[in-house]
């Protein structure tokens, strides 16, 4: 059947007078503009090198709708040959040992940095290669607003709130808030993990073992409290309940808002949608209570994976092997600009890097100023966090209540994963 | 009470097979899967743990309340407004046919399309509704972002979309009332109000039963309009049973979401069986 349809395809190709493509690999990607730019550039270059391989790219929504599509298509064997998806705890929830092709023996894995391999591995096998660069979770700020108001980058949460007060006085929105895209509400909680692990170095371990809880750990609860403080101070934009992610990025880039808590992948959005504003945007880590202990919570990039049900696993591996090379990095840099350190040995930064990335690089260059986000240290992430953080950020639920509710959500996920001690 | 079917077995077999494969087997299978931890590959029997977990869901009580609230509000509005519209549209007013088309038209539009359109219209700062209100000096509320208002706003949109069907059923019901009753009442000197309450309302009862039944079932299991407009938010404030179930499914908790579906099935059956029995009995008594 496979040969038959391939034969039909090649006859059609010949009739159409197009170059014969022996294999068409299907690719499922998320709907971010920068993901699409990256994949276009990578696949075009690969087809130049291998004229017998062509690609058919399909776009899916992000957030929990996207999780649903990926899980269901994998489970029913309808997944595209190649797809991109988060690494870490969301990757673990895909049931990788059954649904994904083993990429442990991919030649380019030799150059992939071990810290990335560990977040796309299950039962000792590696299932993904990195696409994009390591990211920081923190706060974007508008450099023009900071210059006009004479503000400096805050090293403690109190400094950050003092800056917000001055921004509000000047009649601008202090914190762009975009609960129209519910996932964006989680940042204050997730990006606070550097500060959590300063206070409780073994939090991740004890959390996974059902010993540490958000509700009973003052350090872990701080993230929820921050969200509540920002809401209570009235520092959000008027349409915070309906604004979308794209609008949030635009607000901090054009100076309507001073801050936007987000992962640095938003730089790709700026490069694609408003490149002229890139120099106006800076970035800092979410500050904690102690200026001497200031550091960045780091996200691993998403991975590229191959469905175990794909009829073209070998051809797909060839493409992934190409993506995980220095040339692959350079193509990504050309498509979206340099957004942070790559997870592939030998990849380098270009000479001119965006201001926000220049703000972020020092954290990576100093020992002890970065910590991975919790979702890369523990397989458990409760699925309802984004609704719970919307509640706290909209004044519907208190931080303490929310932390306790999230603990229940975490318990549900842990039971579903069949973890011991739960 | 069993009486012999007038049809031979081979005549009903195709329908019976389709019914078994597509409805009976999946329904029975869902009872089994609701007792398991299921990732679509393996189902591990865990007894009633899913039900226990589902009833522990902190948003479940809210979701249950919202489900009943949504069904009651939409059903009540569709019944009353539907009847009034039907009376208006059978009264021989100007452009009656065209107006009937207008009322019925939203029924034909895709629910998701309606949901997305209204969520734009109800945007707190840029939506047409609040922009219009601002023009006359009213500071419009966050229709979908205010937790106290979100579900009610969705219910109103659902009524707008569904009222055409209720009106259509009522128009058919009104047409079946013999004009002689009205004539007799008029001769006896009845007012229009008296005719409405004493003739129209009682005699249109079969249509009322149909409208209430359909809109209650529709309201209890409604999901698409809510998901398109609020996704159950802000937070959990407009979650109904169906959206709680969908979120379990989204998270990959397939056994748990199946248990939720069994509960939804029992809830709908538990409300609708006594309700229809009661409505139909009264009809017979008359």
Of A95, A182, A239, the CB nearest to B233: A182
Q: What total number of domains does chain A contain? A: 2
Task: Give yes or no: residues A283 and A144 share one domain.
Answer: yes
Instruction: Identify the CATH number of the domain in which residue A36 sits.
Output: 3.40.190.10
Structure tokens at A19: 């170059």
* Tokens 């949901």, residue located: B115
**Of the candidates A268, A299, A332, A323, which has an alpha carbon nearest to the alpha carbon of residue A82?**
A323
B247 and A384 within 8 Å at the Cβ level: the answer is yes
Task: Give yes or no: residues A253 and A396 share one domain.
Answer: yes
Given a cut of 50, is residue A13 above it in pLDDT? no
Q: What is the overall mean pLDDT for chain A?
A: 90
Q: Is A405 on the interface with B (CB under 8 A)?
A: yes
Q: Are A31 and A70 in contact (CB under 8 A)?
A: no
Question: Would you state the pLDDT for residue A52?
Answer: 93
**Of the candidates A228, A233, A264, A111, which has an alpha carbon nearest to the alpha carbon of residue A161?**
A233
| Residue length of chain B | 286
Q: Are strands A23-30 and A82-85 parallel, antiparallel or unpaired?
A: parallel
| Residue length of chain A | 422
Nearest C-alpha in B relative to A391:
B235
A242 and B142 within 8 Å at the Cβ level: the answer is yes
Nearest C-alpha in A relative to B233:
A387
Which residues lie across from A394 on neighbouring strands? none
Number of C-beta neighbours around residue A214 at 10 A? 26
Q: Are A83 and A307 in contact (CB under 8 A)?
A: yes
Which chain A residues contact residue B237 at CB under 8 A? 396
Task: Give yes or no: residues A122 and A150 share one domain.
Answer: no
Q: Is A10 on the interface with B (CB under 8 A)?
A: no
Which chain A residues contact residue B145 at CB under 8 A? 179, 239-242, 394
Mutation target among A239, A247, A386 for the B interface, most CBs of B within 10 A: A239
H-helix or E-strand containing B43? strand B43-45
A241 and B234 within 8 Å at the Cβ level: the answer is yes
d(CA A288, CA A223): 9
3-state secondary structure of A295: coil
Which residues lie across from A342 on neighbouring strands? A133
Q: What total number of domains does chain B contain? A: 1
Which chain A residues contact residue B119 at CB under 8 A? 242
Task: Give yes or no: residues A61 and A153 share one domain.
Answer: no
Question: Would you state the pLDDT for residue A63?
Answer: 77
SS3 content of chain B, % helix, strand, coil (to 5): 70, 0, 25
**Of the candidates A120, A127, A112, which has an alpha carbon nearest to the alpha carbon of residue A326?**
A112
What mean pLDDT is predicted for residues A220-234?
A: 96
**Of the candidates A140, A138, A135, which has an alpha carbon nearest to the alpha carbon of residue A188?**
A138
Residue B202 resides in a domain: yes
Which chain B residues contact residue A388 at CB under 8 A? 235
Upper half-sphere CA count for residue A123 (Cβ side, 13 Å): 6
Which chain A residues contact residue B141 at CB under 8 A? none
Residue B89 resides in a domain: yes
Which chain A residues contact residue B250 at CB under 8 A? 64-65, 67-68, 383
Residue B6 resides in a domain: no
Residue B30 resides in a domain: no
Number of C-beta neighbours around residue B273 at 10 A? 10
Indicate the DSSP class of residue B57: -
Question: Would you state the pLDDT for residue A418?
Answer: 81
Task: Give me the phi and psi of B178, to 5 degrees please.
Answer: -65, 130
Number of C-beta neighbours around residue A49 at 10 A? 10
Structure tokens at B130: 């609040």
Residue B11 resides in a domain: no
pLDDT in tens, A14-41: 444 444 458 999 999 998 888 999 999 9
pLDDT in tens, A103-133: 999 999 999 998 899 899 999 999 999 999 9
Q: Is B53 on the interface with A (CB under 8 A)?
A: yes
Instruction: Identify the CATH number of the domain in which residue B67 sits.
Output: 1.10.3720.10
Task: Give me the phi and psi of A49, to 5 degrees please.
Answer: -75, -30
Q: Is A397 on the interface with B (CB under 8 A)?
A: yes
Structure tokens at A117: 């391999």
Q: Containing domain of residue B69, as a range?
A: 48-285
Residue B77 resides in a domain: yes
Task: Give yes or no: residues A247 and A386 share one domain.
Answer: yes
Task: Give yes or no: residues A325 and A390 share one domain.
Answer: no
CA distance A171 to chain B (A): 17
**Of the candidates A210, A93, A152, which has an alpha carbon nearest to the alpha carbon of residue A359?**
A152
Task: Give yes or no: residues A110 and A97 share one domain.
Answer: yes
Task: Give yes or no: residues A57 and A189 share one domain.
Answer: no
Q: Are B75 and B215 in contact (CB under 8 A)?
A: yes
Please list, in sequence order, all residues whose beta carbon lies within 8 angstroms of the beta carbon of residue B194, skipping any fewer than 6 positions away: B185
Q: Is A18 on the interface with B (CB under 8 A)?
A: no
A391 and B235 within 8 Å at the Cβ level: the answer is yes
Q: Is B139 on the interface with A (CB under 8 A)?
A: no
Which chain A residues contact residue B126 at CB under 8 A? 239
Q: What is the pLDDT along chain B (286 residues), one digit of tens a residue?
A: 456 778 888 888 999 999 999 999 998 998 889 898 887 777 888 888 888 888 887 777 888 899 999 999 999 999 999 999 999 999 888 888 899 999 999 999 999 999 999 999 999 988 999 999 999 988 888 899 998 999 999 999 999 999 999 999 999 999 999 999 999 999 999 999 999 999 999 999 999 999 998 999 889 888 999 999 999 889 899 999 889 989 888 888 888 889 988 988 888 888 888 888 888 776 555 5
Task: Give yes or no: residues A52 and A77 share one domain.
Answer: yes
Task: Give yes or no: residues A253 and A231 share one domain.
Answer: yes
pLDDT in tens, A267-320: 988 988 999 999 999 999 999 999 999 999 999 999 999 999 999 999 999 999
A98 and B251 within 8 Å at the Cβ level: the answer is no
Which chain B residues contact residue A65 at CB under 8 A? 250
Q: Are A147 and A165 in contact (CB under 8 A)?
A: no
Residue B229 resides in a domain: yes
d(CA B212, CA B208): 6
Q: Containing domain of residue A156, as a range?
A: 135-299+355-417
Structure tokens at A123: 């039962």
Q: Are A90 and B252 in contact (CB under 8 A)?
A: no
Task: Give yes or no: residues A102 and A168 share one domain.
Answer: no
Structure tokens at A93: 């929830």
Q: For the sheet containing A303-306, what is the strand order?
A: A53-60, A23-30, A82-85, A303-306, A129-130
Q: Is B142 on the interface with A (CB under 8 A)?
A: yes
Question: Would you state the pLDDT for residue A16?
Answer: 43
Of A98, A179, A240, the CB nearest to B41: A98
Question: Would you state the pLDDT for residue B282?
Answer: 65
Residue B110 resides in a domain: yes
B142 and A241 within 8 Å at the Cβ level: the answer is yes
Supply the ipTM of this predicted assembly: 0.82
Task: Give yes or no: residues A258 and A331 share one domain.
Answer: no
Q: Are A390 and A198 in contact (CB under 8 A)?
A: no
Please give the model's pTM, rounded to 2 decimal places: 0.84
d(CA A379, CA A377): 7
Structure tokens at A155: 């090293």
d(CA A409, CA B103): 44
Residue A347 resides in a domain: no
Residue A349 resides in a domain: no
Number of inter-chain CB pairs under 8 A, A vs B:
86
Number of C-beta neighbours around residue B5 at 10 A? 9
Nearest C-alpha in A relative to B145:
A241
Which chain A residues contact residue B129 at CB under 8 A? none
pLDDT in tens, A148-162: 999 999 999 999 999
């Amino acid at each position: 059947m496979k040969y038959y349809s391939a034969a039909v395809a090649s006859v059609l190709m010949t009739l159409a007078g197009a170059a014969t493509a022996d294999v068409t690999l299907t690719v499922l990607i998320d709907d971010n503009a920068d993901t699409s730019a990256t994949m276009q550039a990578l696949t075009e270059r690969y087809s130049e090198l291998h004229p017998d391989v062509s690609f058919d790219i399909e776009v899916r929504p992000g957030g929990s709708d996207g999780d649903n599509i990926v899980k269901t298509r994998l489970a029913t064997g309808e997944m595209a040959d190649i797809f991109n998806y988060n690494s870490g705890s969301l990757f673990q929830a895909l049931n990788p040992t059954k649904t994904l092709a083993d990429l442990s023996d991919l030649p380019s894995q030799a150059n992939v940095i071990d810290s990335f391999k560990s977040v796309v591995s299950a039962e000792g096998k590696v299932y993904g290669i990195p696409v994009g660069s390591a990211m920081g979770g923190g706060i974007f700020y508008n450099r023009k607003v900071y210059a006009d108001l004479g503000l400096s980058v805050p090293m403690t949460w109190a400094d950050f709130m003092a800056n917000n007060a001055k921004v509000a006085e000047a009649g601008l929105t202090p914190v762009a808030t975009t609960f129209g895209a519910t996932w964006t509400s989680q940042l204050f909680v997730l990006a606070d993990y550097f500060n959590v692990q300063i206070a409780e170095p073994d939090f991740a371990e004890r959390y996974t073992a059902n010993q540490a809880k958000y509700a009973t750990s003052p350090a872990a609860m701080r993230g929820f409290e921050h969200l509540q403080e920002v809401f209570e101070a009235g520092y959000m934009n008027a349409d915070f309940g309906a604004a979308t992610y794209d609008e949030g990025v635009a607000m901090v880039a054009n100076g309507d808002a001073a801050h936007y808590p987000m992962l640095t992948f938003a730089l790709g959005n700026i490069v694609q949608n408003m490149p002229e504003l890139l120099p106006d945007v800076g970035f800092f880590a979410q500050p904690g209570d102690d200026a001497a202990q200031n550091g960045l919570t780091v996200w691993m990039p998403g991975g590229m994976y191959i469905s175990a049900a794909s009829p073209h696993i070998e051809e797909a591996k060839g493409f992934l092997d190409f993506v995980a090379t220095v040339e692959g990095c350079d193509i990504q840099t050309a498509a979206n600009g340099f957004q942070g350190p790559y997870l592939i040995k030998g990849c380098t930064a270009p000479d001119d890097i965006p201001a926000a990335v220049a703000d972020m690089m020092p954290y990576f260059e100093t020992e002890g100023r970065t910590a991975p986000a919790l979702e890369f240290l523990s397989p458990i992430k409760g699925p309802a966090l984004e609704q719970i953080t919307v509640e706290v950020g909209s004044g519907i639920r208190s931080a303490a209540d929310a932390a306790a509710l999230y603990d229940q959500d975490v318990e549900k996920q842990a039971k579903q994963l069949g973890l011991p001690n739960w | 009470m069993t009486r012999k079917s007038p049809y031979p077995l081979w005549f009903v077999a195709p329908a019976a097979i389709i019914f078994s494969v597509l409805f009976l087997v999946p329904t029975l299978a869902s009872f089994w899967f609701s007792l398991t931890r299921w990732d679509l590959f393996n189902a591990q029997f865990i007894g009633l743990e899913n039900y226990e977990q589902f009833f522990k869901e902190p948003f479940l009580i809210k979701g249950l309340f919202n489900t009943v609230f949504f069904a009651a509000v939409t059903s009540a509005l569709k019944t009353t407004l539907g009847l009034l519209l039907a009376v208006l549209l059978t009264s021989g007013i100007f452009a009656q046919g065209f107006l009937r088309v207008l009322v019925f038209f939203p029924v034909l539009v895709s629910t998701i399309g309606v949901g997305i359109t209204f969520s734009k219209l109800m945007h707190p700062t840029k939506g047409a509704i609040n922009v219009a209100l601002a023009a006359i000096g009213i500071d419009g509320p966050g229709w979908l972002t205010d937790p106290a208002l979100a579900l009610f706003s969705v219910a109103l949109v659902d009524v707008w979309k569904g009222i055409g069907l209720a009106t259509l059923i009522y128009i058919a019901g009104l047409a079946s009332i013999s004009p002689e009753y009205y004539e007799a009442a008029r001769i006896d000197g009845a007012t229009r109000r008296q005719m409405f309450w004493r003739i129209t309302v009682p005699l249109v009862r079969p249509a009322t039963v149909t409208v209430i039944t359909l809109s209650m079932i529709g309201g209890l299991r409604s999901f698409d309009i809510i998901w398109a407009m609020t996704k159950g938010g802000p937070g959990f404030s407009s979650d109904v049973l169906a959206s709680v179930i969908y979120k379990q499914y989204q998270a990959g908790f397939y056994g748990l979401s199946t248990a939720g579906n069994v509960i939804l099935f029992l809830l709908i059956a538990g409300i609708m069986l006594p309700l229809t029995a009661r409505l139909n009995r009264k009809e017979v008594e008359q």
